[in-house]
Structure formats: structure tokens, C-alpha cells
């Protein structure tokens, strides 16, 4: 059994008007202006899951600049998880700068069955993650509803790539430190934040923080898995592909090439996500 904790889907409207959305939204344009960047519908994702032996997938939104686009694209994610409840789990988008509207959107998405909010991209959406007046009410609302926040995270060193952004470990850590009750998933191993769990005080702060493996073959050698497991075990690592950016089979092969203990493999591929997401 494999649970993919990081995929993206888009409605027919977005698929057909791709160029318009690339022009009108900075985050979408950053991620999908290249013709090589693929877009998928829910049905295409389901077909891909069947072909690759993926039991369930979390479908994520992106960091849209406008509240209206968050709502419209959330509608498609909510429709998709209602249509395929045994296969898909939803993460929806908010624009925190809209404050009360963002609170209401968290509430709406929660009632419709979403597991959380994400993929959050403060740098692309134009807000300060560490603005407590802005973020604290949203976090409190999410914690009360049992919603997870999922962030894109960026490595402070290494090669540049489309969508890398500037959400580096220090920025994210400061936010998590102020909100210890919030469950957080950090994409791409948290931009390396997972390594700092060697520091006991950091490990305590990150007790509710999980790391997904999305796009790992683009970023790290297979030794990344053994390194992270040696620091804090395998209980907080979630298999994620970033499909359709990367084929889940490629990420799975990357993990398998590390020759991990079977219990660690089980945790990464499905047990951790099963516990966290109720999958």
C-alpha cells in the first residue's frame, strides 16, 4: 500500500485557460509557465494512481494570490474528494491577507472534508508568515478544526529551480515555534529543517511537524532517507511525489534504493500518512 501525500490537480477551466492563469497569477505563472510543466485533472491522477499502485493521494492546491481563485480552485478539490472519497484527500488554499474571508474558507473546506490547508506559499502570495496579527487567528481556527497546514519549503543553498522560492528553514521554524499545537507538513524535507532536529530544543519545537519526500530525486541523493531516520526516526516522513512534476514510481525507486529497514519503508509509504491523515 502506498499513500502519496503530495500531488496537484486542476479543473478543466484551468487546464483550458492555462496561459491566462500564468499571466494573471504570480504563483501559477512561476510554476506552470514552462510548457514542460504538466497539469492534471482528478481523473488523470486516478488513472496514474491505478497504473502505479497508489492507494490514496492527497491533492493539494497552490498559493493563489486572490481569495477568489483560492475559492474557485478549492471548489474543484472539494468536488474531487467527494467524487473519489476512497482515493483522494484534499488540501485547500487560502489567502491570509483576506483575514475574515480566509477564516470562513477554512471553515467551509473543513466541513466539506478537507484535511488541511496547503500548499501554502507566503513568499508567492505576498504575506509575512511571521505576522502574528495576520496568522494567529487562522492558526487557532485550524487547530480548533483539526486542520493541518502544509507549506512549500525552500533550501537556503543549492541549485535554483522554478518555484524554489524563499521559504527557508529559519522563517518556517520561527512560525512553528509560536504555534506548537498546529500540525504542519513541510514539503521537500522542509528545505533541510529536518536536519536541525539534531538540536534537542529544535526537535521539541518540531514535535508536530512532518516532512514529505516531494521531488526528493531532484534535490537529494538517496542517502537523505537514512540521514533523516538516523536523526529522528522514520515516524515523521511522508511519501510524496509532487506528481505530475515527478512520477511517483521515480520517488518510490529513490526511496527503495536506500535499502531501508522494512519498518521504515512501511512508515514512509503509508503508515505515517495513515495515522496523520486518517487514511
Count CA within 13 A, CB hemisphere, residue 171. 20
- Which among 8, 76, 85 has a CA at the least distance from the CA of 48? 8
Place of cell 529551480: 161
Give the pLDDT mean for 215-236.
Answer: 95
Burial 186-221 (b: 16+ CB within 10 A, else e): bbbbbbbbbbbbeeeebeebbebbbbbbbbbbebbe
Instruction: Convert the pLDDT of each residue in 64-101 to its tens digit.
Output: 999 999 999 999 999 999 999 999 999 999 999 999 99
Give yes or no for residue 279 having a pLDDT over 80.
Answer: no
Q: Pick the closest to residue 89 from 11, 40, 176, 147 (CA basis).
A: 147
pLDDT at 103: 97
Which residue in the block uniquely carries the three cell numbers 481569495? 67
Half-sphere exposure of residue 89: CA atoms within 13 angstroms, side-chain side:
21
Domain that holds residue 15: 3-277
- Under a CB-based contact definition with an 8 Å cutoff, are residues 273 and 211 in contact? no
Q: For position 170, what pLDDT does the model report?
A: 96
The pLDDT of residue 154 is above 90: no
What's the confidence (pLDDT) of residue 165? 80
**Residue 241 contacts residue 7 (beta carbons within 8 Å):** yes
Specify the number of domains making up the chain.
1
* Burial environment of residue 35 by CB neighbours within 10 A (0 to 12, 13 to 18, 19 or more): exposed
Phi, psi (degrees; rounded to nearest 5) at 160: -85, 150
Q: Return the beta strands (E) in the chain as ranges.
A: 3-8, 56-60, 88-92, 116-120, 148-151, 184-186, 209-212, 237-238
Mean pLDDT of the 53-64 span? 97
The edge-to-edge listing of strands for the beta sheet with 237-238 is 3-8, 56-60, 88-92, 116-120, 148-151, 184-186, 209-212, 237-238
User: What's residue 275's pLDDT?
Assistant: 97
Q: Which three cell numbers stand for residue 162?
A: 522554478
Its pTM surpasses 0.85: yes
Taking 90 as the threshold, does the pLDDT of residue 198 lie above it? yes
252 vs 154, residue with greater confidence: 252
Q: Which CATH number belongs to the domain containing residue 177 in this structure?
A: 3.20.20.140
Rounding to the nearest 10 degrees, give the CA dihedral for residues 172, 176, 182, 183: 60
How confident is the model at residue 38, as a pLDDT?
94
Q: What is the DSSP string of 60-124?
A: E----SSHHHHHHHHHHHHHHHHHSTTTEEEEE---GGGTHHHHHHHHHHHHTT--EEEEE-HHH
Beta carbons of 144 and 179 less than 8 angstroms apart: no
pLDDT for 210: 98
pLDDT in tens, 108-139: 999 999 999 999 999 999 999 999 999 999 99
The pLDDT tens digits for 240-278 are 999 999 999 999 999 999 999 999 999 999 999 999 998
Could you tell me which residues are beta bridge partners of residue 60?
8, 91
Q: Is 59 helix (H, G, I), strand (E, B) or coil?
A: strand
- The x, y and z cell numbers of residue 71, run together, are 475559492
pLDDT at 12 over 90: yes
Strand partners for 212: 238
Q: How many CB atoms lie within 10 A of CB 111?
A: 10
Whether 166 shows a pLDDT value over 90: the answer reads no
Amino acid at each position: 500500500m502506498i499513500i502519496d501525500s503530495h500531488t496537484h490537480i486542476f479543473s478543466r477551466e484551468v487546464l483550458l485557460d492555462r496561459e491566462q492563469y500564468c499571466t494573471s497569477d504570480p504563483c501559477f505563472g512561476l510554476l506552470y509557465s514552462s510548457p514542460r510543466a504538466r497539469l492534471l485533472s482528478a481523473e488523470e491522477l486516478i488513472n496514474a494512481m491505478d497504473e502505479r499502485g497508489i492507494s490514496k493521494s492527497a491533492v493539494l492546491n497552490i498559493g493563489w494570490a486572490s481569495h477568489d481563485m483560492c475559492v474557485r480552485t478549492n471548489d474543484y478539490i472539494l468536488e474531487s474528494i467527494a467524487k473519489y472519497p476512497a482515493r483522494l484527500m484534499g488540501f485547500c488554499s487560502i489567502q491570509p491577507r483576506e483575514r475574515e474571508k480566509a477564516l470562513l474558507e477554512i471553515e467551509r473546506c473543513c466541513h466539506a472534508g478537507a484535511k488541511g490547508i496547503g500548499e501554502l506559499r507566503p513568499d508567492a502570495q505576498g504575506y509575512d508568515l511571521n505576522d502574528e496579527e495576520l496568522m494567529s487567528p487562522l492558526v487557532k481556527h485550524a487547530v480548533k478544526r483539526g486542520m493541518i497546514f502544509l507549506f512549500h519549503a525552500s533550501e537556503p543553498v543549492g541549485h535554483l529551480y522554478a518555484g524554489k522560492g524563499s521559504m527557508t528553514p529559519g522563517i518556517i521554524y520561527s512560525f512553528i515555534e509560536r504555534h506548537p499545537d498546529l500540525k504542519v507538513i513541510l514539503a521537500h524535507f522542509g528545505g533541510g529543517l529536518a536536519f536541525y532536529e539534531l538540536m534537542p530544543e529544535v526537535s521539541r519545537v518540531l514535535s508536530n511537524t512532518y516532512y514529505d519526500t516531494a521531488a526528493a530525486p531532484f534535490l537529494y541523493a538517496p542517502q537523505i532517507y537514512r540521514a533523516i531516520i538516523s536523526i529522528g526516526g522514520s515516524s515523521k516522513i511522508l511519501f510524496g511525489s509532487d506528481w505530475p512534476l515527478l512520477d511517483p514510481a521515480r520517488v518510490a525507486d529513490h526511496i527503495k534504493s536506500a535499502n531501508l529497514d522494512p519498518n521504515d519503508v512501511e512508515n514512509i509509504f503509508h503508515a505515517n500518512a495513515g495515522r496523520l491523515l486518517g487514511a
